[in-house]
Amino acid sequence: MKSMESAGAIRDWKEEIRRKLNLSVETFSAIQDLSRQVQAQLEKTGASITEKQEQVLLHKLGLFVRANHTESVETIAEAISISPQVLEQKGKLDISEVVGQTQQHFNKKEVRLWERLSERKDAVPMIAETSLGDGTYYLGRLFTRGHFIANSTVLEHCLGKKSIERYFTKSKNKDIEVYAVMEQSDSEPVATVIYDTKLKSILQIKQAGDRHLTGTEPYFEAVIESLSRLTTQESINESGRAYQRPIESVQDLENVFRGFPEVFVRSGTLVSISDALTMDAKEVLGGSAFPVDEDTDPELVVQIAEKLPLAIDMTKATEEQRQTVISIAGTLIDNRDAISGFSNLKIVNGQILVNNAKEVRFDALEEVGRGLYATQTEQLSLPALRKVGGRVDAPVARVIAAEQLTEVTGNIDASSASQLTMPALRKVGWHIEAGMAERIDLPNLVHVGGKVYGDSASVINLPNLKDALLVQCNEKTETIIGNKNIPIERTTKI
C-alpha cells in the first residue's frame, strides 16, 4: 500500500510541474526522457541526485526545452556536474546559465592554451622522432596541451577537445604515449597513434574524422612503418633526450585496423579453425590480410612481416620478396599449388595457412607460434623445424618429414601419412593421429597429452613414452611402449 501511495505522490508532483510549465503530455514525456538520460550520464561520473533534486531538474529542464535550447545530454550533464548548485531549489541559476558558463570556461581555457602554444619558439611544436619512408611523413610525439589541441583541430577528433584532460593527464602520468604521423611539408597530422605503456599495446589509430584506417590511404605505409619503429627504436622524453621505450609488441590490432586484423586473433577468432580448414584462404581472409604482389617494395614486406602481427598474404609475392623474409610476426598466408620459396624464413609467430599447396617445403623454418595448417598438402618437408605452438594439421599428407621437431603443443593430424618421420619428437600436447601410417617410430617421445592413433601400423615403437591417455592400434600391431601401464586399445584391422 505504501509503495502505491509513493508512486501516486510521484505522479502528483510530476503532473504539477507539467501544469506549471503549461506543457502538453507529449512534450512533458520527452522532457522526462531527457531527465532520465541526464541522470544516467551523471551516474557515469559517480554522481547521484535526490528525489527533491530530481524535481528541480525536471522543472528546470522543462524551462530549458521550452526556451528552444538544443544542447546535448552530455553537455547538460557536464554543466550540472561542474555547477551542481543548479539543482538547489532556491538557487537562481537555470540550466541555460550553467551550460553557458561551462562553455565560457572551456573557451577561456582553450584561448590560454593556444596563447601558451604560440609562445613556443620552435616552428614545429612537436619533437620529430624519425622520418618515415621517402621522407614525405615523419613521426612525432605529443607532449604539451598545445600539441593535443593542434592535432585534434586538424583531425577533428576528441583528443584535444572535450577529452583533453583525460588524455593529457594520462600522457603526463606516462600511462599512455600519443604520437602523430605528420606530413613533412607542412607539419599537418594525418593520423594519431595512442600507445598504452602498461598493456604494451596500441589502443587507437585514427585518421581525420575519428575514422579507422582502411589500407587505401596514401599514408597507410607510413603508419605501418611508424608502428614498426615504435617497437624497435628509442623514444624521446620531454627534455628531448632519448630513452628506451618499454614496448614489447604491438597487439590487439583487430581493434585498430578495421579490415586489417590477423586472420585468427588471440582475443576472439574471426573465423573458427574448423571453418578455415574447409575454405579457400582468400575466402577465409575476406580481404583482411595485407596483400603482397610484385609491386610491393621488398623492404616494406620485411617491415610488415617482421614487426606487425598482421596476416600477410604472400600468394602473389615474387621470389625476391619471399627470400627477404626471415621472420613473420603474424600469420603467413600462401595459397599457391607448391610452396618452397621461403628458404630463409626461420620464425612465424602466428600461424601458417597454406590450404591449397600440394607440396610445402620450408628449409630454414625453426619455430611456428600458433599452428601449421596445410590441409591439402601431400608432402610436408620441414627439415629445421624444432617447435610448433598449436597444432600441425596435415590430414592428407602422405609424407611428413620433420627430423628436428621436438615439441608440438597441440594435435598432430597426420591421419593419411604412410610415413611419419619425427625422430627427435619428445612432447605432444594432445593427440597424435596417424591412422594410415604403416609404422610409427618415435624413439624419443616422452609425453602425449591425449591419445596415439595408429590403427593401420604394423609396428608402434615408443620406447621412452612415459604418459599418454591411450594407444590405439590393430590386433596385429607390434607395440613397444616405455610405460607398460599406458592402456592399449586394439581394433580389427580392415
pLDDT (tens digit per residue) in 219-266: 876 776 676 566 555 555 444 444 444 433 333 444 444 333 333 322
Helices (H), 218-257: 220-232
Phi, psi of 335 (to 5 degrees): -115, 20
Q: Is the pLDDT of residue 421 over 60?
A: yes
The residue written with cell numbers 617421445 in the block is 445
CATH topology of domain 127-255: Aminopeptidase (3.40.630)
All cell numbers assigned to 375: 590441409
In this structure, the number of other CB atoms found within 10 A of the CB of residue 419 comes to 16
Q: How many helices (H) and strands (E) does the chain have?
A: 12, 33
Q: What is the pLDDT of residue 94?
A: 77
335: which DSSP letter?
-
Q: How many CA atoms lie within 13 A of 284 on its CB side?
A: 29
Q: Answer with the residue of higher pLDDT: 6 or 321.
A: 321
* Sheet with 189-196, edge to edge strand ranges: 127-132, 137-141, 176-183, 189-196, 201-207
Maximum Cα–Cα distance across the chain: 97
In 152-298 the beta strands, taken as DSSP E runs, fall at: 176-183, 189-196, 201-207, 235-236, 242-243, 290-291
Q: Is the pLDDT of residue 467 over 80?
A: yes
- Report the alpha-carbon distance of residue 440 to residue 455 in Å, rounded: 10
Q: What is the pLDDT of residue 443?
A: 95
Phi, psi of 149 (to 5 degrees): -65, -45
**End-to-end CA separation in angstroms for the chain:** 79
Q: Is the pLDDT of residue 427 over 80?
A: yes
- Mean pLDDT estimate for the chain: 75
Q: What is the pLDDT of residue 274?
A: 33
- Report the alpha-carbon distance of residue 64 to residue 67 in Å, rounded: 5
Q: Is the pLDDT of residue 391 over 80?
A: yes
pLDDT in tens, 471-492: 999 999 999 999 999 999 998 7
pLDDT in tens, 103-145: 666 656 555 544 554 444 443 445 555 666 667 888 888 877 7
User: Is residue 39 helix, strand or coil?
Assistant: helix
Q: Classify residue 126 as left (phi > 0), alpha (psi -120 to 50) or beta.
A: beta
Q: Is the pLDDT of residue 451 over 80?
A: yes
Query: Using alpha carbons only, how large is the chain's radius of gyration in Å?
Result: 32
All cell numbers assigned to 484: 607398460
Contacts 24+ apart (CB under 8 A), 153-157: 154/188, 154/189, 154/208, 155/189, 155/190, 155/191, 155/192, 155/206, 155/207, 155/208, 155/209, 155/210, 156/208, 156/209, 156/210, 157/192, 157/206, 157/208, 157/209, 157/210
- Report the alpha-carbon distance of residue 162 to residue 170 in Å, rounded: 15
Rounded mean pLDDT, 330-352: 83
User: Is residue 326 helix, strand or coil?
Assistant: coil
What is the per-residue burial (b if ≥16 Cβ within 10 Å, else e) of 24-44? eeeebeebbebbeebbebbee
Q: How many CA atoms lie within 13 A of 33 on its CB side?
A: 7
Q: Is the pLDDT of residue 412 over 80?
A: yes
The domain segmentation of the chain, as residue ranges, is: 2-111, 127-255, 273-425
Q: Is the pLDDT of residue 74 over 80?
A: no
